[in-house]
Amino acid sequence: MAGAVEEGGKVAESFIEALKREPISLALVVMNVALLLMFFYVAQKSSETRAHEVQLIYDNEKRTAELLARCVDPGTLREILDQFRTHDNRSEIPLPPPRPPEAENPG
């Protein structure tokens, strides 16, 4: 085991010596690490923002659904549902008569 530690130390020492001889390599290593950290930070913030936006969308849709639920008269809704339940075929459901076309205004 001592041989592996010594070899690891030699590799680390030669790596440090190479970085001392060529400072541009050290700058590149530092810039790559900084770039990776920046990517991680941006991804983390994007994820938080997206989660917040999705929650806002769900809240808005829930509020809209609650408002629409209060707009429908339960008696009318019950009649419509009863019509669908009593007829096996939708084509048998009586449709309201078509509205006459509105008179076109020539002027």
- pLDDT of 18: 83
* Bigger pLDDT: 49 vs 12: 49
Question: Which residues have a Cβ under 8 Å from the Cβ of 46 and sit 6 or more positions away?
Answer: none
**Is residue 105 in some structural domain?**
no
**Model's pTM, two decimal places?**
0.46
Domain for residue 13, yes or no? Answer: yes
Q: Would 57 be classed as within a structural domain?
A: yes
- Domain hosting 43: range is 2-86
Residue 105: is its pLDDT beyond 70? no
User: Is 80 a domain residue?
Assistant: yes
pLDDT band at 96 (very low <50, low <70, confident <90, very high): low
Q: Is residue 91 within 8 Å of 84, Cβ to Cβ?
A: no
Question: Residue 40 — pLDDT band, cuts 50, 70, 90?
Answer: very high
For range 9-14, the mean pLDDT: 89
Give the count of domains, the chain: 1
97 touches 107 (CB < 8 A): no
User: What pLDDT does residue 16 have?
Assistant: 85
Residue 81 lies in a domain: yes
| Close Cβ partners of 26 (under 8 Å, ≥ 6 residues apart) | 19
CA distance 10 to 26: 18
Classify residue 96: in a domain, yes or no. no
In a domain, 101, yes or no: no
Question: Does residue 34 sit within a domain?
Answer: yes
